Amino acid sequence: MSSLAPSPEDPAVSMTRVEKVFDSGRSGAVTALTGVDLAVAPGEFVSLIGPSGCGKSTLLRLVADLETATAGTVAVFGKSAHQARLDQDYGIAFQSAGLLPWRTVRANVELPLELRKVPRGRRRERSDELLAMVGLADFSAARPHQLSGGMQQRVAIARALAEQPRLLLMDEPFGALDEMTRERMQSELLAICERTGCAVIFVTHSIPEAVYLSDRVVVMSPRPGRITEIVPVSLGERDEDTREDAAFFSAVTAVREALRGHPDHSAHHASSTVRGVDLR
Amino acid sequence: MRLVLRRVAPALRSGGYGVLAAGLLILVWEGYKLIGSPDGVSVGGVRLLPRADDASMPHVGQILERFGRPEVAAAGSPTVLVAVLRAMWFSFRVALAGWFGGVVVGMLLALLMQRFRTARDALLPYVVVSQTVPLVAIAPVVVGWGGNLAVFGQPWQPWQSVAVISGYLAFFPVAVGMLRGLDSPTAAQLGLMHSCAASYWQTLIRLRLPASVGHLIPALRLAAAASVVGAIVAEISTGTRGGIGRLIIEYAQSATGDPPKPWTALLGAAALGLVAAGMVGLADLALGRFTPAKGAR
CA distance to B3, B96, B151, B288, B291, per residue, from B285 (Å):
10, 19, 35, 5, 10
- Whether residue A183 sits in one domain with residue A73: yes
Closest chain A C-alpha to B187 CA, distance in angstroms? 8
Which has more confidence, A206 or A277? A206
pLDDT confidence of residue A277: 57
In a domain, A271, yes or no: no
pLDDT for the residue numbered B179:
93
Least confident interval from A5-19, A255-269, B163-177: A255-269
Query: How many domains are there within chain B?
Result: 2
Do A53 and A173 lie in one domain? The reply is yes
Residues B113 and B38 in one domain: no
Question: What amino acid is encoded at A147 in this protein?
Answer: L
Q: In chain A, what's the furthest Cα-to-Cα distance? A: 60
Contacts of B290 in chain A (CB under 8 A): 102
Where does the pLDDT of residue B295 fall: very low under 50, low under 70, confident under 90, or very high at 90 and above? very low
- Examine the domain organization and report whether B171 and B43 are in the same domain: no
Q: pLDDT-based confidence at B3, cuts 50/70/90?
A: low
pLDDT value of residue B204: 92
**Cβ <8 Å between A92 and B191:** yes
Whether residue B44 is found in the same domain as residue B66: no
Last residue of a domain, one of B13, B33, B57: B57
> Which one of B39, B57, B75 terminates a domain?
B57
Q: Which residues contact A170 (CB under 8 A, 6 or more apart)?
A: A60, A92, A93, A160, A200, A201, A202, A203
The single-letter DSSP state of residue A146 is G
**A112-121, B146-155, B272-281: least confidently modelled range:** B146-155
* pLDDT band with cut points at 50, 70 and 90 for residue A279: low
Which of residues B238 and A169 earns the better pLDDT score? A169
Q: Are residues B143 and B28 in the same domain?
A: no
Cross-chain Cβ contact A64/B290 below 8 Å: no
Question: Is the CB of B191 less than 8 angstroms away from the CB of A159?
Answer: no
Residue that wins the pLDDT comparison between B232 and A2:
B232
**Average predicted confidence (pLDDT) for chain A:** 82
| Cross-chain Cβ contact B193/A115 below 8 Å | yes
- How far CA A180 is from CA of A96, A158, A187, B98, B163, in Å, comes to 18, 20, 11, 57, 61
Q: Which CATH number fits the domain that encloses residue B114?
A: 1.10.3720.10
Report d(CA B127, CA B124) in Å as an integer: 5
Per-residue pLDDT, B104: 95
Residues 6+ apart with CB under 8 A from A31: A19, A20, A21, A224, A225
pLDDT-based confidence at B297, cuts 50/70/90?
Answer: very low
Res. A5 pLDDT band, cuts 50 70 90: low
Residue ranges making up the domain that contains A223: 40-89+165-263
Are residues A104 and A241 both part of a single domain?
Answer: no
Omega before residue A8 within 30° of 0, cis: no
To probe the interface with B, which of A66, A102, A104 has the most B CB atoms within 10 Å?
A102
Distance from CA of B141 to the nearest CA of A (A): 45
Does A100 contact B207 at a Cβ distance shorter than 8 Å?
yes
Nearest Cα to Cα of residue A131 among A156, A149, A166: A156
> Are residues A254 and A234 in contact, defined by beta-carbon separation less than 8 angstroms?
no
Domain containing B29 equals 1-57
Averaged pLDDT for residues A173-202: 86
**pLDDT by residue (tens digit) across A18-75?**
888 888 777 778 888 888 888 888 888 999 998 888 888 888 899 988 888 888 888 8
- The answer to whether position A202 is within a domain reads yes
Both A180 and A234 in a single domain? yes
Tell me: pLDDT of A273 over 80: no
CB spacing of B189 vs A98 below 8 angstroms = yes
Contact A97, A143 (CB under 8 A): no
pLDDT for residue A271 is more than 50? no
Asked whether the predicted pLDDT for residue A266 surpasses 50, the reply is no
Residue A13 falls inside a structural domain: no
Q: Give the nearest chain B residue to A65 (CA atoms).
A: B195
- Choose the closest CB to A102 out of B193, B196, B289: B289
Residue contact A145–B295, C-beta within 8 A: yes
Last residue of a domain, one of A144, A164, A184: A164
Predicted model pTM? 0.79
Contacts of residue A112 in chain B, CB cutoff 8 Å? 196
Please report residues of B whose CB lies closer than 8 A to that of A97.
188
Beta strand A226-232 with A216-221: parallel, antiparallel or unpaired?
antiparallel
In angstroms, the separation between the Cα of residue A267 and the nearest Cα of chain B is 39
Tell me: do A171 and A232 sit in the same domain.
Answer: yes
Residue A20 maps to a domain: no
Residue B260: pLDDT band (50, 70, 90) is confident
* Ranges of H-type helices in chain A: 56-63, 81-86, 105-115, 120-133, 149-160, 179-196, 207-213, 246-260
A155, A99 in Cβ contact below 8 A?
A: yes
Whether B109 and B205 map to the same domain: the answer is yes
Asked if A100's CB is within 8 angstroms of B189's CB, the reply is: yes
- Which of B186, B196, B202 is opposite residue A96, by nearest beta carbon? B186
pLDDT of residue B103: 94
Query: Which amino acid is present at A72?
Result: G
Whether residue A185 sits in one domain with residue A80: yes
- A16 phi/psi in degrees, rounded to 5: -125, 120
Q: Under a CB-based contact definition with an 8 Å cutoff, are residues A182 and A189 in contact? A: no
Residue A120 domain-assigned (yes or no): yes
Domain assignment present for B3: yes
- With 60 as the cut, is the pLDDT of residue A264 above it? no
For residues B23 and B160, membership in a common domain is answered with no
Mean pLDDT of chain B: 85
Do B77 and B65 touch, CB atoms closer than 8 A? Answer: no
Contacts of A100 in chain B (CB under 8 A): 189, 206-207, 210-211
For residue A158, count other CB atoms closer than 10 A to its CB. Answer: 27
Query: Does any domain span residue A95?
Result: no
- Give the model's pLDDT for residue A268: 43
Q: How far is A96 from chain B (nearest CA, A)?
A: 7
Do A246 and A114 lie in one domain? The reply is: no
- Give the sign of the dihedral formed by CA A122, CA A123, CA A126, CA A132: negative
Angstroms from B189 CA to nearest CA on chain A: 5
One domain, residues A56 and A183 = yes
**Within this chain, do residues B113 and B9 fall inside the same structural domain, yes or no?**
no
Q: Are residues B164 and B221 in the same domain?
A: yes
| A62 in contact with B, Cβ within 8 Å | no
Test the B interface: residue of A92, A171, A172 with most B CBs within 10 Å? A92
**Does A139 contact B at CB distance below 8 Å?**
no
Domain boundary among B57, B86, B103: B57
Q: Is the pLDDT of residue B296 over 60?
A: no
Best of B6, B193, B195 to disrupt the A interface (most A CBs within 10 Å) is B195
Neighbours of B17 (CB within 10 A): 10
Look at residue B40 and tell me if it is in a domain: yes
The answer to whether position A14 is within a domain reads no
Mind listing the pLDDT tens digit for each residue in B8-51?
777 778 778 888 998 999 999 888 888 877 777 778 778 778 88
What percent of chain B stands above pLDDT 70?
96
For A146, which residue in chain B has the nearest alpha carbon? B296
Alpha-carbon distance B182 to nearest alpha carbon in chain A (angstroms): 14
List the beta bridge partners of residue A218: A48, A230
Place B292 in a pLDDT band, splitting at 50, 70 and 90.
low
Q: How far apart are CA B193 and CA A99, in angstroms?
A: 11
> Do A177 and A85 share a structural domain?
yes
A201 neighbourhood in chain B, CB within 8 Å: none
User: A142 in contact with B at a CB cutoff of 8 Å?
Assistant: no
Is the pLDDT reported for residue A236 higher than 80?
Answer: no
Q: What is the pLDDT of residues A205-218, one digit of tens each?
A: 888 888 888 888 89
Instruction: Please indicate, yes or no, whether residues A205 and A123 belong to a single structural domain of this protein.
Output: no
B162, B40: one domain: no
The verdict on ipTM greater than 0.90 is no
Q: Are both B146 and B283 inside the same structural domain?
A: yes
Indicate the number of domains in chain A. 2
Quote the pLDDT of residue B90. Answer: 92
Same domain, residue pair A51 and A182: yes
Indicate if B175 and B226 belong to the same structural domain: yes
- Show which of residues 200-229 on chain A sit within 8 Å of chain B, judged by CB atoms: none
Minimum-distance CB partner of A145 among B211, B289, B297:
B297
* Boundary-marking domain end, from A131, A149, A164: A164
Tell me if B297 is assigned to some domain. no
Please report the pLDDT score of residue A229 as a whole number: 84
In chain A, whose CA is at the least distance from the CA of B208? A100
- Which of A66, A86, A98 is the closest to B186 by Cβ? A98
Distance in angstroms (rounded) separating the CA atoms of residues A84 and A76: 6
Q: How far apart are CA A120 and CA A129, in angstroms?
A: 14
Which one, of B193, B172, B164, lies nearest residue B124 by Cα?
Answer: B172
**Residues of A with Cβ-Cβ distance to B210 under 8 angstroms:** 100, 102
pLDDT in tens, B71-116: 777 777 888 888 899 999 999 999 999 999 999 999 999 999 999 9
Report the b/e string of B229-262 with b at 16+ CB within 10 A. Answer: bbbbbbbbbbebebbbbbbbebbeeeeeebbbbb
Nearest residue in A to B192, CA atom: A92
Identify whether the C-beta of residue A263 lies closer than 8 Å to the C-beta of residue A251.
Answer: no
CB B290 to CB A96 under 8 A? no
Average pLDDT over residues B195-205: 90
Q: Which CATH number do you get for residue A214?
A: 3.40.50.300
Q: Are residues A83 and A187 in the same domain?
A: yes
| Sign of the CA dihedral running A57, A60, A66, A70 | positive
Q: Tell me if A224 is assigned to some domain.
A: yes
CA distance A169 to chain B (A): 11
In a domain, B296, yes or no: no
For B128-168, the pLDDT digits (tens) are: 888 888 878 888 888 888 777 777 777 788 888 889 999 99
- The answer for residues whose C-beta is within 8 angstroms of residue B6's C-beta and 6 or more apart is none
